Amino acid sequence: MTATATTQRPLPVPDTLSTPFWAAARDHALHMQRCDSCGHMAYPPEIACRACGGDHLHFAPVSGRATLHSWTVLHEAPAPGFRDRLPLILAVVELEEQPGLLMSTNLVDADPAALRIGMPLRAWFENITDQCALVQFRPAGR
Amino acid sequence: MWAHRNKVAVAGVGYSKLERRSGRTLAALTLEACDAALADAGLLRSDLDGIATSPSMPRYGGRKGVDEGIDIVTPWYLADLLGAAGRVQWIGSTNGMVTQSLIDSALAIIAGLCDHVLVYRSLHVPEGRYVNFDTAHAVGTDQYLAPYGFSMPPAWAAVVLRRYFELHGYDRRDFAHYIAANRANAQRNPHAYWRGKSLSEADYIDARMIADPLSILDCDIPVDGCCALILTSAERARHLRQPPALLTGFAASAYQGASGTPMNLEDMWSGARALGRRLWDMTGLTPADVDTAQLYDGFSVLVLTWLEGMGFCRDGEGLGLLRDGYGDLDGKLPINTGGGALGEGRLHGMTQLAEAVAQVTDRAGVRQVPGGACALATISNGLAKSTAFLFSRDS
Ligand SMILES: [Zn+2]
């Protein structure tokens, strides 16, 4: 253990690019960065659009509907702050708005044995601290 | 076709002892490997006029290598230690993978900047758990991963393996034959960390999960140690101690793929395919010309995406082929004949390069593939910073 060791879950430190994303999450809204020129969406936020090179990008709300792209199940905590959350499902989800728009997240309220690629998911926000809410996903319809 | 095909050669290979946690400094281990490589080539420290590495120390959540000689060894520092600082004409220090340094070094030789270049990779295992995000602050790209516990490379690879299994109807039992055979290859390699510790298929199936379905035995073993190569012109190499391993061609990639997750299956296939196309175009060769394949295996699943992406079989077929012995030492395409990173230890592709050299110079001993005249080495995960090389036997 180092001097910085913590038992807290790591919290995002917003920066110039990501501040609007985390501010929206605090309001329990999922926003994705969208290119003004071509409409391509990016996550995590980018400085310029990878599809067309345009540098006018703005955050816009998305539906929070997604499908399961892949997942893994952890039975040991990846960091001290996760000890009370095991087994932890780490998931990659594909947002409904754009093929290939992937997001790393957690699945909650899900049975690891029942997971299937393509299963429908819904975004759900968890307040981690007064200042931070994280977007998580759960099976749609639950 | 590349005008400098087979004009640069690897003339020597050297290893330090690979240990889980050595009591010696990384600088001492690095010198041991570099002197071994020089001795292998029949050269002296005073012959060196080029030196290159990627000195990065990957660590997740804690201190990233900052102490020269302890957890990193930069080429400037090493030049001093070797007494070569005044003579070195060219130094390479790349981000990404050390194999980019190998490309740079070959080009420095072709350009006439230097005659004998040392390419090395030193890696250190920090104290404590290798992967443990024990800070409360997730900055930069970590902010999109660490708050979810997605801060460990085994988890990134696990979602790729899961998707591969689910899409193609495999499970861990299908991988067991390959993993056990790979460990058997390591038993024939005097440098391998796991030499003396064989592994059964049942051991693999029962292994402790790190990120289900990825187990501890799907991960390479982090070690303290160093591997070094000596590059020179093919012409000069023919007058040195060992037969030269000729560099036939290479390819490098800046393909990022989808963001939002550090690795994903479809992009790793696409990236490997793009590298393959460049490599085959540059060399005029095809997968059918390859006698052994040294495929980067920091995680087991990468063997599959490389095998398929480089064009040896179709996407999703690779695991079935490996299950049936395709990659065995006496199979159709012997893979990671020295044990790879899974069996030899984590040296970020140097194991693949060193084994490719051994095979095309007839120096692989009891694991030598008869007639192994062309060896492929691929490094990293197929995405940006990945590289691929073909080495050929001198005729
Ligand atoms: Zn655009």
pLDDT tens-place string over residues A69-108: 999 999 989 888 898 899 999 999 999 999 999 999 999 9
Q: Residue B33: what residue type?
A: A
Residue of B150, B151, B210, B255 to mutate when probing chain A, most A C-beta within 10 A: B150
Domain-located, residue B146? no
Number of domains in chain A: 2
pLDDT of residue A72: 98
* Same-domain check for residues A55 and A69: no
* Same-domain check for residues A86 and A42: no
Here the tokens at position B70 are 């302890």
Domain-located, residue A3? no
The pLDDT tens digits of the residues spanning B88-121 come to 999 999 988 888 999 999 999 999 999 999 999 9
Question: Does B133 sit within 8 Å of A78, measured CB to CB?
Answer: yes
Domain-located, residue B280? no
Q: Which residue of chain A has the CA closest to B267?
A: A100
Q: How far is the CA of A41 from the centre of ligand 1 (A)?
A: 8
- R_g of chain A computed on alpha carbons: 16
Domain range for A105: 63-142
pLDDT of residue B114: 97
The pLDDT tens digits of the residues spanning B19-76 come to 999 999 999 999 999 999 999 999 999 999 999 999 988 766 556 667 899 999 999 9
Domain-located, residue B68? yes
Best CA proximity match to A98, nearest among A140, A39, A30? A39
Reported confidence tier of residue B128, pLDDT bands at 50, 70, 90: confident
* Same-domain check for residues A41 and A70: no
Answer yes or no: is pLDDT of B251 > 50.
yes
CA B47 vs CA A5, B107, B237: distances in Å: 47, 18, 13
For residue B126, the chain A residues in CB contact (below 8 A) are none
* Same-domain check for residues A82 and A122: yes
Q: Scan for tokens 């039992």, then name that residue.
A: B173
Domain-located, residue B64? yes
Q: How far is the CA of A32 from the centre of ligand 1 (A)?
A: 13
Domain-located, residue A43? yes
Which residue did the predictor score with more confidence, B271 or B135? B271
Distance between CA atoms of residues B339 and B350, nearest Å: 12
pLDDT of residue B126: 81
For residue B151, the chain A residues in CB contact (below 8 A) are 10, 78-79
Question: How much is the average pLDDT of B153-172?
Answer: 98
In this complex, the residue of A6, A11, A50 whose CB is nearest that of residue B147 is: A11
Half-sphere exposure of B317 (CA within 13 A, CB side): 10
Domain-located, residue A6? no
The pLDDT tens digits of the residues spanning B311-349 come to 999 999 999 999 999 999 999 999 999 999 999 999 999
Question: How much is the average pLDDT of B283-297?
Answer: 98
For residue A80, the chain B residues in CB contact (below 8 A) are 132, 134
Half-sphere exposure of B1 (CA within 13 A, CB side): 8
CA B239 vs CA B26, B42, B140, B362: distances in Å: 32, 10, 50, 17
* Same-domain check for residues A77 and A52: no
Domain-located, residue A100? yes
Domain-located, residue B35? yes
Question: Does B214 sit within 8 Å of A78, measured CB to CB?
Answer: no
Q: How far is the CA of B260 from the centre of ligand 1 (A)?
A: 17
Contacts of B388 (CB under 8 A, 6+ apart): B250, B251, B275, B276, B278, B279, B310, B376, B377, B378, B379
CA B281 vs CA B278, B287, B326: distances in Å: 5, 12, 25
Question: Which helix (H) or strand (E) is B275 found in, with range?
Answer: helix B265-283
Number of domains in chain B: 1
Answer yes or no: is pLDDT of A139 > 50.
yes
In this complex, the residue of A2, A50, A104 whose CB is nearest that of residue B134 is: A2
Half-sphere exposure of B27 (CA within 13 A, CB side): 13
* Same-domain check for residues A99 and A67: yes
Reported confidence tier of residue A3, pLDDT bands at 50, 70, 90: very low
Q: How far is the CA of A21 from the centre of ligand 1 (A)?
A: 19
* Beta strand pairing call for B292-295 and B374-379: parallel
pLDDT of residue A2: 42
pLDDT of residue B95: 84
Q: Which residue of chain A has the CA closest to B262?
A: A104
pLDDT of residue A29: 98
* Same-domain check for residues A92 and A142: yes
Shortest Cα–Cα distance, B161 to chain A (Å): 9
Phi, psi (deg, nearest 5) at residue B299: -135, 145
**Residue B239 belongs to domain with CATH number:** 3.40.47.10
Shortest Cα–Cα distance, A94 to chain B (Å): 9
pLDDT of residue A1: 39
Residue of B71, B127, B131, B134 to mutate when probing chain A, most A C-beta within 10 A: B134
* Same-domain check for residues A41 and A69: no
The pLDDT tens digits of the residues spanning B355-382 come to 999 999 999 999 999 989 999 999 999 9
pLDDT of residue A142: 60
Question: Does B258 sit within 8 Å of A74, measured CB to CB?
Answer: no
Secondary structure class of A81 (helix, strand, coil): helix
CA B294 vs CA B96, B297, B307, B333: distances in Å: 19, 9, 10, 10
* Same-domain check for residues A58 and A91: no
Best CA proximity match to B273, nearest among B386, B165, B153, B392? B386
Q: Is B206 exposed, middle or buried (0-12, 13-18, 19+ CB in 10 A)?
A: exposed
Domain-located, residue A7? no
Answer yes or no: is pLDDT of B141 > 70.
yes
pLDDT of residue A8: 82
Residue A65's beta-bridge partner residues? A122
Answer yes or no: is pLDDT of A4 > 60.
no
Question: Does B138 sit within 8 Å of A12, measured CB to CB?
Answer: yes
Domain-located, residue B193? no
Distance between CA atoms of residues B290 and B335, nearest Å: 11
The pLDDT tens digits of the residues spanning B193-249 come to 999 999 999 999 999 999 999 999 999 999 999 999 999 999 999 999 999 999 999
CA A91 vs CA A24, A105, B143, B261, B334: distances in Å: 21, 5, 16, 9, 34
For residue B139, the chain A residues in CB contact (below 8 A) are 13, 15
Q: Is A8 exposed, middle or buried (0-12, 13-18, 19+ CB in 10 A)?
A: middle
Question: How much is the average pLDDT of B145-164?
Answer: 96
Domain-located, residue B332? no
Answer yes or no: is pLDDT of B134 > 90.
no
pLDDT of residue B133: 78
* Same-domain check for residues A41 and A107: no
Domain-located, residue B271? no
pLDDT of residue B65: 64
Question: Does B155 sit within 8 Å of A74, measured CB to CB?
Answer: yes
Q: Which residue of chain B has the CA closest to A71?
A: B159
Helical packing angle, B301-309 and B265-283, nearest 10°: 50
For residue B136, the chain A residues in CB contact (below 8 A) are 4, 6, 8-11, 81
Helices (H), B42-87: 75-81
* Same-domain check for residues A81 and A24: no
pLDDT of residue B66: 77
DSSP B6-46: T-EEEEEEEEPPPBSS-SS-HHHHHHHHHHHHHHHHT--GG
pLDDT of residue B130: 64
* Same-domain check for residues A48 and A21: yes
Domain range for B236: 8-129+221-244
Domain-located, residue A112? yes
